[in-house]
A = this chain, B = another copy of it.
Amino acid sequence: MSVTAAQGFTAAGIAAGIKENGNPDLALVVNHGPRLAAAGVFTSNRVKAAPVLWSEQVLRGGTVSAVVLNSGGANACTGPKGFQDTHATAEKVAEVLTEQGIGGEHGEHGEHNAGEIAVASTGLIGVLLPMDKLLPGIETAAAALSADGGEAAAVAIKTTDTVHKTATVSQGGWTVGGMAKGAGMLAPGLATMLVVLTTDADLDSATLDRALRAATRTTFDRVDSDGCMSTNDTVLLLASGASGQVPAYADFAEAVRTVCDDLARQLIGDAEGSSKDIRIEVINAADEDDAVEVGRSIARNNLLKCAIHGEDPNWGRVLSAIGTTKAAFDPDRLNVAINGVWVCRNGSVGEDRDLVSMKDREVRITADLAAGSETAVIWANDLTAEYVHENSAYSS
């Protein structure tokens, strides 16, 4: 499963000592080809971690022979030294893999080159990585690489995740699999969402890029657990071509979307301190941008997030959130349903709120803008005392 479900990949997850508690903290994913095609999407935060700046550059070439990921430190806001550390990490991976004759033979350079090694980091912002532990860890990880290493890699990128997250779709002789960690910037002090997807389909980087952007736009980009945008978000898709299959684009794109959607739901389901997964569906919007804007405004309303935690179908807070947007709507035509009960009709009191049951973890909010025919779904979490506790008491 995970990143080794597809043919042509090995992976490892080991404890390098970056985390003080001794838990696994370093993952390595190697593409053995014959293709080394890759695509990536990154955080839109203008304050970007060093590994994001590095990997954006790597992905411009469309070729990735390996990905190295660490938890235990985000390497964000670390200045020139932080960037040098990321560079040194990529160089070390290229050197070790080349020395040990692992993969690389299909690369542009006939061996591993640092410019084709993607790097991702997650952990506390503003702290330099312990390179004296990370660099030797790369040798350990390389020695542990295996075609069954996907689960171990998924475990090694966990921070405050309570479970590791993997998903796989196989059909017609080809596979898309992947691993993920985090949720938004939910975890305490962490810069957070890292995802690596792999496939053995025989596709070029342009096709991967198209499928990945289409998938993330309606999955990871619509997860809004706590409204906080990370400095480190990275989603990579690597193709080995090892299956020899060239799927139809639509089939491949749908498989990538399915894996992303599955992982995105796992992120929401494991969000720190959360007790509810909130599915916000905006319907009858004038256009998709309006639907997304309204969905996000609802997702980020702290008062509503508290109410949902308290199992209170407080539709007034939904309306007050919608009212802050620039979307097309008439306040007197807004309708809101919570778990299927239309508690607000025409901007005013609708069905009896006592009919709404909110005992389940999943809560469904439907906001009808009555302004068109477009729809978007945003996933969020409730706001809890546990969230406050976990995020107020970690670094000191």
Contacts and interface: CB of A to CB of B under 8 A. Distances in A.
Interface of A: 45-48, 74, 76-79, 81-82, 124-128, 185, 188-189, 191, 226-231, 300-303, 306-307, 309-312, 314-317, 319-325, 329, 331-332, 334, 344, 346-349, 383-385, 387-389, 391-396
A125 B317 contact: yes
A81 B349 CA distance: 11
Nearest to A322: B47
Contacts of A81: 348
A382 B277 CA distance: 24
Given A74-B316, A77-B315, A302-B391, 12 more contacts: A45-B323, A47-B319, A77-B316, A77-B344, A77-B349, A79-B346, A79-B349, A82-B348, A124-B316, A191-B320, A312-B393, A385-B388
Binding site of A, secondary structure by majority: helix, strand, loop or mixed? loop
A311 B395 CA distance: 10
- Copies in the assembly, this chain: 2
A344 B125 CA distance: 11
A319 B389 contact: no
A77 B302 contact: no
22 contacts: A45-B324, A48-B323, A78-B348, A78-B349, A79-B347, A125-B320, A127-B349, A185-B303, A188-B303, A189-B303, A189-B316, A191-B320, A228-B320, A229-B320, A230-B320, A231-B316, A302-B383, A302-B391, A303-B391, A307-B395, A310-B392, A311-B396
Nearest to A385: B385
